[in-house]
Structures are given as C-alpha cells and as structure tokens.
Amino acid sequence: MPLQIIDHGSIQHQQMVELRFQMLRKPLGLTFTKEDLEAEKNDMLIGFFDDGKLEGCCILTKKDAKTVKLRQMAVLSGLQGKGIGRVLMTFAENIARDRGFRKINMHARKTAVGFYEKLGYSISGPEFEEVTIPHFEMEKEL
Ligand SMILES: CC(C)(COP(=O)(O)OP(=O)(O)OC[C@H]1O[C@@H](n2cnc3c(N)ncnc32)[C@H](O)[C@@H]1OP(=O)(O)O)[C@@H](O)C(=O)NCCC(=O)NCCS
C-alpha cells in the first residue's frame, strides 16, 4: 500500500519533514522550528511511498468537531503531474470522512488553486499573504 499514516517522531516523519522543507520552505528561504514540528503531534500525517521512498505527503489538523484543515501538501518536483497529489487527497478525504469530519479547508497557494479546484474545492475568501506568497482559503464538504 503506497499510502500510509505516519507516526510523529518516526523515521518516516523525518523523511516527510525533509520533503516538506525541500518543496515548501527552502524555495522561500524558510525553515521549520522545533515548535512547528512539536505542534503537529496530534495531526494526521499522511505519506505516499514507492518502495520505501517518500514521494508525496500532506497533513490533516483538526479544527473543530466537523472540520479538518489540510496542510503541507507536497509532491517531489520530478514526480508532479503523475496523479500522486490526487491519490493523496482522496486518501486524506477518506480518512477525514471515516473519522467523522464533514469539511476540509485549507490555505491554498495561489499557484495550486487549479489543482484543488479539479478535486472539488472552492475558494471561500479573499486573497491573502502567508509564508511570503499569495494564498486563498478553500474548502470542500465531504
Ligand atoms: C500541487 C501539487 C501537490 C499537486 O500534486 P501532483 O501530484 O502534481 O498533482 P496530480 O498529478 O495528482 O494532478 C491532479 C490534477 O490537477 C492538475 N494540477 C496539478 N497541479 C496543478 C496546478 N498547480 N494548477 C492547476 N492544475 C494542477 C493536474 O494537471 C491534474 O489534472 P488532470 O486530472 O485533469 O490531469 C504538486 O504539484 C506540488 O507539490 N506542488 C508544489 C508544492 C505546492 O504548491 N503544494 C501545495 C501547497 S498549498
């Protein structure tokens, strides 16, 4: 099964942090702090693996009884556009649904809005800046 829930603090979690750093933070000149990583202790950490190698990931964070926030969605640069992101999102949605959540929302990078729209997400607010780049809040009822 290429899709796995990752344990916080495991080797897979370290792999995940490295992928997220390379794909999401390093290009913006940013890093993760110890506190950032500690704060995801109770999150659902999701990875897409091929032969033990992590190729994509995302995180679900509980916001309230009905809503989870999708965060840190990333696929390795050489492997984008091959369907890994879609598979990760479907898996994340199934997990959220199984755990009783009814809505997923996110802060989507402007460059990724088209990806989420293809998967049924809608923009729900005005453009804003986060981690130095433009974002939109997006959401989908499960
Ligand atoms: C955005 C990202 C997660 C998408 O993952 P992916 O594996 O490349 O996406 P998929 O191959 O599963 O694409 C699914 C569909 O969305 C489309 N799509 C993918 N990225 C897109 C984008 N940035 N804009 C518009 N459409 C996009 C694909 O063409 C595909 O369409 P199709 O089904 O009609 O062929 C990935 O490109 C990525 O990691 N980007 C850099 C980091 C990033 O921006 N993360 C999101 C932070 S909010």
106-137 residue pLDDT tens: 999 999 999 999 999 999 999 999 999 999 99
The whole-number pLDDT of residue 117 equals 98
The CATH code of the domain at 3-141 is 3.40.630.30
Q: Supply the Cα-derived Rg of the chain in whole angstroms.
A: 14
Answer whether 120's CB lies under 8 Å from 70's CB: no
How far is the C-alpha of 62 from the C-alpha of 40, rounded, in Å? 10
Q: Where are the domains of the chain?
A: 3-141
Summarised one tens digit per residue, pLDDT across range 46-58 is 999 999 999 999 9
CA-proximal residue: ligand 1, atom 4 (nearest): 85
∠ CA 88-100-38, rounded to 5°: 60
Atom of ligand 1 nearest to the CA of 24: 42
